[in-house]
Structure 1
Amino acid sequence: MKSYLQRLGRSLMLPVSVLPAAAILLGIGYSMDHSGWGEENVVAAFLITAGDAILGNIAVLFAIGVALGMAKEKDGSAGLSGLVGWLVITSLLSPSSVSLLRGIEVDAVSPAFASIENAFIGMISGLVAASMYNRFSKTKLPDALAFFSGKRSVPIMTALSMLFVSAIMFFIWPAVYEGLVSFGTFFSELGVFGAGLYGFFNRLLIPTGLHHALNQVFWFDMVGINDIGNFWSGQGELGVTGMYQAGYFPVMMFGLPAACLAMYHTAKETKKKQVAALLLAAGFAAFLTGVTEPIEFSFMFVAPLLYFVHALLSGISLMVAALFNWTAGFGFSAGFIDFFLSSQLPLANNPYMLIVQGLVFAVIYYVIFRVLITKFNLKTPGRGDEDWDEDASPDTKSAGDDKYAQMAQEIYQGLGGESNLISIDNCVTRLRLEVKDTSVVDQQRIKNTGIPGINVIDDHNIQVVVGTQVESVANEVNKLHK
């Protein structure tokens, strides 16, 4: 079950990765027309409408993205089937359709069906489509029906399956919807404390990948909170909308880079040159883009105490920002790019105070990390005996001069090569790998490439934290594995 949920979280990263495009379009558009949202500027209207087209259809993107991510192969027919499933269920359970099926007026239909086009339904559509792909993509039919064999049968089976899903949801969706609304309402009614709890559990769930599921409740229109969509569209309450995003900026732009500085200062003198490149790159990525996994994975397993403190400070940061009603938003993550774009929007309330808060949190992170690392002799990067083998000389002749090809060559061999590696996938910063036996993986050889960390999930699944260049490395590993 845990592995399944991790795959689901990974699959959600594909549709979420398009949000920066929406953020850029909306940010630039609104900066050109602060008051009219495009009413007074044709170019602004063009950009804002384009950005809203992405945010307004995020549930559809979830249906397609989850279908592709959960399918055994990233095939177009899986994505098409996700869209088919979405169209079937949202059409059958639209208020007008429900009123016809029940023989009542549209006004008497449960409000739940007015919100059927949401991220939750998108994920269900994608999951059903992926299941149909995994089950029927290799099916062979009799000659008379051979045209519909294999992958062509997947959209058909998805449509038929969604008829049954729609029938079930016809009866249980109102109760499910009310339960989700109650869950979201409970947290939202906690106000500042609820924002803090969300921030704490968000960070705490990062190692499992389950934080993505938690994010759907608060960031998208699953239970009516829709913090990201409402913030960027300007449909919310000043100082409140954005409270589940704003507190991340001080942590990601300032806190974690300061933690990198503390880890550098506490590294062994003989290791500082090596860890400097890793921590500098990771810290800069966190500040600019809000991608923090290269930093977090560098200490979450070797120093879990630090990671717990980091999760706690993240929750406190969200509480502080919410307490003072400082708001800013992001389309991808809480880095400088999103901060700059969102600070121009009407629901951005005193956003520059988040920089002041960030500077304070930078000091807090640095002092706490440095004290804990030295007091408890925590084996953060540059302090362990086997962080890097300085005498190691990787065999990269066949990899050519490309640094990603060289890194991929070492990772591939460290994983056990063709005899042990089963499948390769990646998210924003991590290689997600399935192997026959994780015990035969040469972790030290992989670490010698300078990667931030390794996460062994179970006997068959392992993650290699590479950083923002993971896509290039993944492509090279795939070339070696063919």
Structure 2
Amino acid sequence: MKNKLNLRGKLQTFSGAMMVPVILLVIVGFYVGIGSAFTNYIIPKGNIIHTVFDMFSGVGFMIMGYLPLWFAVGVAFTLSKKEKGWGALGGLFLLFAFNKGISVYAGSMGWDETSTAVDSLLAIGYSQMDALNFNSLWSNVAGIFTFDMGIFSGLICGLVAAWANNKWNEKELPMMFSFFSGTKFVILMLSLISVPMAIVTYYVWPVIADGLHFLTSFITSSGLVGTFVFGTLDKLLLPFGIHHLIAFPLEYTRVGGTMMIDGTLFEGVRNIMVGQSGSAEAAGYITRNFTTGRVLFQIAGLPGAACAIYATARKENRKKVLSIVLPAVVTIMMVGISEPIEYTFLFIAPALYFGVYAPLCGLSYVIAELTAVSINGNALLFMIPNLFQPQKVHAMSLIYLLPLTFAVYFFVFRFFIMKFNLKTPGREAANQEIKFMSKKEYNEIKNAEKEASTEGESLPERIVEAFGGADNIVEVSCCATRLRVTVKDKTGVVDDNIWKNDLEALGVVKNNTNYQIIYGTRVTTLTTKVRDVLDKNE
């Protein structure tokens, strides 16, 4: 049991680390979508304004073109417990050394850009299909001929670099070799590790690639069933903090499919949609994108659930409930942060979350795909680029799907709240405190930087104390909305109610010594300040 808990904790940490480089991808949709709209349709070529917008589009496509690099650096940085800068450098160094090693070893076996071309393979006896499959294994990464591993090469190198940095960043050597002690020893070891890594990968990756082809085929052939399973699992795994593990391969690797757009091969549904956004020839976005379903439950479904919470509250409490429901609904619709409402009924009625809400979300993905909704973005703020390329949007069905989804969620949640007398906010006695996760907390999410203080201590200082002090904290990281902390002794950590009532958390997820404290979009800044507090205590 202990080993299972430790494995789950490691998966949660890894899942959170993958979110760090994705921060870069948030701006891709804006830069490519808006920039390409101006350069393709609005401003004629040769104008200085055209050039400026073309530069923004270029930045977006540059980010897409070097995804393995961002993941190697981001994962290594996040998972390094100390000397994070050196950890990030190690991830970058290992990525290049690893790919160069594969290139050299493949060259010794007779494979290079010329010999792996389809025509060359056909000439030596490969069938058309085998030639195409073998050729698809190879690519050019930052000028190096190597395997086309997508973000997997970055993830592998980031993990290995972080492990090496954590293991050897304080390594002491004899005086004669002291120059290579500590972080320099890490880089030295990574250079040595890159050689066996490259050799092993040369033989293993083709097998993994075959597996990915099989998975792609399964997802493609399973149609709406596969879509429903994905959408449901995405929510079922959310409380455990590992939902990114099923979404990332579909969004950013060839598991989600491939498409040639304007001479460039894009892998993964999110990357394909970015390519379509930047193409003057594209007439729309792919409909099987495993994201459009979120439009339904984020803009209509969860607001419907929130209205059910308001409608089932005591009459004398409804004014107070409205003050916390309204900011929550605005946040969901604008930026897609849904955890405050989700965790409210998750903690109150787990069966409602796992047995009703998650399948409803899976159904939302199916309906969006079934009605061919084709739109870029799944929250209002991230849909802004669509205003500049409306001809690529095909979403007329949302006119009736959104109110229908709102009604379904409203009546389903109202039924379960009333049927089982669930104590959602406002259903308590009038003299009891009413909390969604609190209006104050949502105001602070909007203002992002505002910090409350108690008895002269800042929020980061109180967070460290709540975890049992700096000596009890092993590791600190974050994802898009959660502060992730591993502690030595869980008995030193305060109760969940203290996190939500006194420390401004929107929710708490814990697994043995691994904690995820939900703070919403301000978590990145808050994590930095928590680390600053820990540094002062060293």
Structure-2-length-normalised TM-score: 0.78
Distance 1:427 1:74, change over 3 A: farther
1:383 to partner: Cα distance:
4.5
Partner amino acid, structure 1, of 2:54: A
Q: Name the residue aligned to 1:187.
A: 219
Aligned counterpart in structure 2 of residue 106 of structure 1, from 116, 130, 154 = 116
SS in structure 2 at match of 1:434: strand
Q: Which ranges in structure 1 are unaligned for 5 or more consecutive residues?
A: 390-400
Q: Name the residue aligned to 2:293.
A: 247
Determine whether 1:363 maps to 2:407.
Answer: yes
- Whether the 8 Å contact between 2:483 and 2:519 is mirrored in structure 1 is yes
SS in structure 2 at match of 1:18: helix
- Whether the 8 Å contact between 1:422 and 1:435 is mirrored in structure 2 is yes
Determine whether 1:145 maps to 2:177.
Answer: yes
Aligned counterpart in structure 2 of residue 321 of structure 1, from 348, 364, 368 = 368
Determine whether 1:2 maps to 2:4.
Answer: no
Comparing 375-384 with 206-215, which one deviates more in the overlay?
Answer: 375-384
Q: How many Å separate the matches in 2 of 1:316 and 1:186?
A: 19
- Whether the 8 Å contact between 1:232 and 1:345 is mirrored in structure 2 is no
Distance 1:381 1:136, change over 3 A: farther
- Superimposed CA distance per residue, residues 282-323 of structure 1 (whole angstroms, 9 cap, x where no aligned partner): 322221112222332222232222322222122111111111
Determine whether 1:447 maps to 2:500.
Answer: yes
Q: How many Å separate the matches in 2 of 1:429 and 1:260?
A: 20
Q: Name the residue aligned to 2:482.
A: 430
Q: How many Å separate the matches in 2 of 1:340 and 1:356?
A: 21
Comparing 356-365 with 54-63, which one deviates more in the overlay?
Answer: 356-365
Comparing 290-299 with 30-39, which one deviates more in the overlay?
Answer: 30-39
SS in structure 1 at match of 2:483: strand
Comparing 405-414 with 251-260, which one deviates more in the overlay?
Answer: 405-414
- Superimposed CA distance per residue, residues 99-140 of structure 1 (whole angstroms, 9 cap, x where no aligned partner): 522125233455323352401121111111111101111111
Partner amino acid, structure 2, of 1:111: S
Q: Name the residue aligned to 1:228.
A: 270
Q: How many Å separate the matches in 1 of 2:390 and 2:175?
A: 61
Q: How many Å separate the matches in 1 of 2:283 and 2:52?
A: 27
* Larger-gyration structure (1/2): 2
- Whether the 8 Å contact between 1:231 and 1:241 is mirrored in structure 2 is no
Comparing 348-357 with 195-204, which one deviates more in the overlay?
Answer: 348-357
Q: How many Å separate the matches in 1 of 2:496 and 2:78?
A: 27
- Whether the 8 Å contact between 1:38 and 1:48 is mirrored in structure 2 is no
Q: How many Å separate the matches in 2 of 1:167 and 1:387?
A: 62
Distance 1:160 1:285, change over 3 A: farther
Partner amino acid, structure 2, of 1:455: V
Determine whether 1:17 maps to 2:23.
Answer: yes
- Whether the 8 Å contact between 1:258 and 1:365 is mirrored in structure 2 is yes
Aligned counterpart in structure 2 of residue 46 of structure 1, from 18, 33, 55 = 55
Partner amino acid, structure 2, of 1:79: A
Distance 1:241 1:174, change over 3 A: farther
Distance 1:423 1:171, change over 3 A: closer
Aligned counterpart in structure 2 of residue 58 of structure 1, from 63, 67, 86 = 67
Partner amino acid, structure 2, of 1:444: N
Q: Name the residue aligned to 2:440.
A: none
Q: Which ranges in structure 2 are unaligned for 5 or more consecutive residues?
A: 1-6, 122-133, 140-146, 258-267, 436-448
- Whether the 8 Å contact between 1:216 and 1:222 is mirrored in structure 2 is no
Distance 1:99 1:131, change over 3 A: closer
1:241 to partner: Cα distance:
5.1
Comparing 337-346 with 221-230, which one deviates more in the overlay?
Answer: 337-346
Aligned counterpart in structure 1 of residue 163 of structure 2, from 131, 150, 158 = 131
- Superimposed CA distance per residue, residues 172-210 of structure 1 (whole angstroms, 9 cap, x where no aligned partner): 111101101211221122223322221111111111222
Determine whether 1:311 maps to 2:358.
Answer: yes
Identity %: 28
Residues 364-379 of structure 1 aligned to structure 2 (within 5 Å)? 364-379=408-423
- Whether the 8 Å contact between 2:376 and 2:383 is mirrored in structure 1 is yes
Q: How many Å separate the matches in 1 of 2:451 and 2:286?
A: 46
- Whether the 8 Å contact between 1:67 and 1:81 is mirrored in structure 2 is yes
Residues 387-426 of structure 1 aligned to structure 2 (within 5 Å)? 403-406=451-454, 407-408=459-460, 411-418=463-470, 420-426=472-478
Q: How many residues are treated as equivalent by the alignment?
A: 465
Partner amino acid, structure 1, of 2:511: I
- Whether the 8 Å contact between 2:83 and 2:169 is mirrored in structure 1 is no
Q: Name the residue aligned to 1:158.
A: 190
- Superimposed CA distance per residue, residues 348-379 of structure 1 (whole angstroms, 9 cap, x where no aligned partner): 44135335422321221122112111211223
- Whether the 8 Å contact between 1:278 and 1:452 is mirrored in structure 2 is no
Q: How many Å separate the matches in 2 of 1:462 and 1:268?
A: 34
1:384 to partner: Cα distance:
6.5
Q: How many Å separate the matches in 2 of 1:384 and 1:471?
A: 34
- Whether the 8 Å contact between 1:64 and 1:126 is mirrored in structure 2 is yes
Partner amino acid, structure 2, of 1:341: P
SS in structure 1 at match of 2:347: coil
SS in structure 2 at match of 1:33: helix
Q: Name the residue aligned to 2:87.
A: 78
Comparing 182-191 with 169-178, which one deviates more in the overlay?
Answer: 182-191
- Superimposed CA distance per residue, residues 424-471 of structure 1 (whole angstroms, 9 cap, x where no aligned partner): 43322222223344345233222213533222221x222222222333
Distance 1:289 1:129, change over 3 A: same
1:74 to partner: Cα distance:
6.0
- Superimposed CA distance per residue, residues 207-242 of structure 1 (whole angstroms, 9 cap, x where no aligned partner): 122211111221012436210111111178956355
Q: Name the residue aligned to 2:100.
A: 91
Q: Name the residue aligned to 1:289.
A: 335
Distance 1:422 1:173, change over 3 A: closer
- Superimposed CA distance per residue, residues 29-76 of structure 1 (whole angstroms, 9 cap, x where no aligned partner): 122134599967323322211111112222211111111122223611
Q: How many Å separate the matches in 1 of 2:70 and 2:253?
A: 13
Comparing 312-321 with 465-474, which one deviates more in the overlay?
Answer: 465-474
Q: How many Å separate the matches in 1 of 2:176 and 2:256?
A: 49
Partner amino acid, structure 1, of 2:382: D
Structure-1-length-normalised TM-score: 0.86
Calculate the aligned-residue CA RMSD, in Å. 3.0
Determine whether 1:261 maps to 2:303.
Answer: no
